[in-house]
Amino acid sequence: MPSFELKTYDPERMSVSKPLFSHVATASGDMKVVFIAGQVGMDEHGKVAETYEAQVEQTVKNISMALAAAGARVTDIVKMNYYIVNYHPTDRPHVPIVLKWLNGHRPTTMLVPVQQLAKPEFLFEMDATAITPKDRVADKVPRPVPVADTTRTVDVVVVGGGLSGLQAGVDCQNSGLTTLVLEARDRVGGKTFSVPGAQGKGMVELGAAWINDSNQSHVYALARELKLDLIQQLTAGDCVVQDLDGSYSKFEYGGVPKHEKSEADNMVEMRCLLEKLCHQIDLHNPQGADWDALTLEEFIKQNGGGPTALGTARLWCRGLLGIEPRELSALYFLDYVKSGGGLMLTRSDMKHGGQFLRVRQGTQTFSKGLAAMMKPGTVQLESPVRKIEQESSSEKVLVTTESGQKIRCKRVIVSVPTPLYKEIAFSPPLPAEKQALASRTTLGWVAKTIVCYEKPWWRAEGYSGLVQSFDGPVTIIRDTSSDLDQAFSLTCFGQGDTGRAWGKLPVEDRREQVIAHIGRAFNDPSAAAAHIGTIEHMWAPEQWSQGCPCPVMGPNLLSKLGHTLRAPFENIHFVGTETAYEWKGYMEGAIRSGKRGASEVISILK
């Protein structure tokens, strides 16, 4: 019998409890009970969040911190009690926030409507009881730990439990190498992050969302291996563009928006030029110092691009990378879209395109599936790596985590994005060129707001759900529904400059702006407002993400320092979607890079 076991279940002939809670929880074995006092929406400075939703966000954050202090996790919670002021069963904005926080875990719960809490400004309170293994609690207590107690020896340590790191770990382990994956977060997946939709219907993606079944062979093979259901992205119906002057107009998918003719012709000419030039790029050795010396914005202007062409380039850069044309070099942009088969394919929602298929069970299932392929105990969460020391007298490497745990190994595979290299102390330091590259790459600003509805009302009005905006606050909207689950949603992307500005607003203002934009785009404000819930996620504030989808290079980086990106440093190898030759920035690229890194290590150690 396991030394510790926690189970939740729902007896027959009882009401449906999914997805928010379970009817029964049991715990057995060597355990410790953790009691969390009632937490409210007040931060460490005593400031109370102004809105109900913000108080719920702060409350679950406080619960998480309290759990961590006791060595427990959200998945250890067996009972939660909610205390809600002026609760009404038809108005439950706390549900999507709590669902996202629980991330599939379903403890037992009780909801207690109250007239008032300890202070009039408090609107929401929650307490919790968790049960956790005694040994894990002891390990989490902040105290000096002798090195001998925490040192472990393996062949390979993988830093990061996203798709690239997990794929590298699986391949190394399958080759016979003892392998340990160390992940900083309390979950696997990196930028794959799937949570239940409003009212628990279907899954929605807070991060990576799309694959295809033709030129993304590795991720598609994994989908088949895990027996996942795939949903084809909807392209039937009218698309909408919000032009530079703020006006909205319809156009057919694959067609050209109805700009003024000379501007439309100029935009198409610029698009064709970029499409032509990107196919001249050698992905394994991108050349073009002249292109690399210019930002994409400068390149477009120098080649006669007008306001609409430049505005369209902003759409491409925001939509693909979360940045502006002034922030990346023309060569890097050409290399990036060439890695996805060209500008048109990378942007496409159709067959062979970057946004062709979604995963009904959620793309985080890819990461969870890979983690399940690892041997028990070889994927370690909440273990940020803070130091990697290469011993000059041998081929050994010493890896140290934030908690002081030490692991000796022969090889390390680093899968974190280059801007996060600064979070790790390398000894000896990384080569000067690799440091220079890592210090100058930039992560994009991307947020998602998923707006959920009872019905896909926009389809009935003849729309596909695709909206593009030159002016924001939402750059792109896509229909991300799962019809089989009766889960209908529009995913709204805030990206680049307009996203950053939007992200500084209070949460209620952000939501109102998104809903208003949907209403104007589909010419039905009342239908847009009749949502059943919204789920928001920003990637830049996350300590272990700091942006997404992958780092980009400004002028004079790719041509001068790009060769260092994938280069090993003694016993350390580097992977991640930004290092992929094909489909960089996508899940396919992450998996391919993980396979490359594992192959490098296996060829040396086996």
Closest alpha carbon to 379 in 112, 227, 196, 168: 168
* Distance (Å) of CA 140 to CA 157, 278, 495: 21, 50, 37
By the 8 A CB rule, do 605 and 573 touch? no
Decide: helix, strand or coil at residue 600.
helix
Distance of alpha carbon 438 from alpha carbon 345, whole angstroms = 29
**Quick one: how far is CA 241 from the chain centroid?**
26
Tokens representing 152 are 């472990």
Closest alpha carbon to 479 in 489, 493, 487: 489
Decide: helix, strand or coil at residue 474.
coil
Distance of alpha carbon 532 from alpha carbon 23, whole angstroms = 25
SS (H, E, C) 208-229: CCCECCCCCHHHHHHHHHCCCC
Binding site members for substrate: 493
Distance of alpha carbon 223 from alpha carbon 219, whole angstroms = 6
* Distance (Å) of CA 14 to CA 18, 22, 23: 12, 11, 8
> Could you say which DSSP state residue 569 is in?
B
Binding site members for FAD: 164, 183-184, 385, 578
Distance of alpha carbon 591 from alpha carbon 529, whole angstroms = 39
β-partners of residue 533 are 452
Closest alpha carbon to 245 in 501, 470, 553, 504: 470
Greatest CA separation for the chain: 75
Crossing angle of helices 364-373 and 217-225, in 10° steps, is 70
**CA dihedral defined by 594, 596, 598, 604, rounded to 10 degrees?**
-160
Report CA Rg, the chain. 25
The position carrying tokens 């203002």 is 509
Binding site members: 164, 183-184, 385, 493, 578
* Distance (Å) of CA 447 to CA 65, 495, 510, 543: 24, 6, 11, 15
By the 8 A CB rule, do 313 and 300 touch? yes
Tokens representing 251 are 């156009």
Q: Where are the alpha helices (DSSP H) in 279-418?
A: 289-292, 296-302, 307-321, 330-339, 343-347, 364-373
Distance of alpha carbon 248 from alpha carbon 522, whole angstroms = 9
Q: How many CB atoms are located within 10 Å of the residue 304 CB?
A: 11
Distance of alpha carbon 576 from alpha carbon 584, whole angstroms = 9
Contacts of 250 (CB under 8 A, 6+ apart): 238, 239, 240, 258
Exposure class string for 561-597: b at 16+ Cβ within 10 A, else e: bbebbbebbebbbbbbbbbbbbbbbbbbbbbbbbbbb
> Could you say which DSSP state residue 293 is in?
T
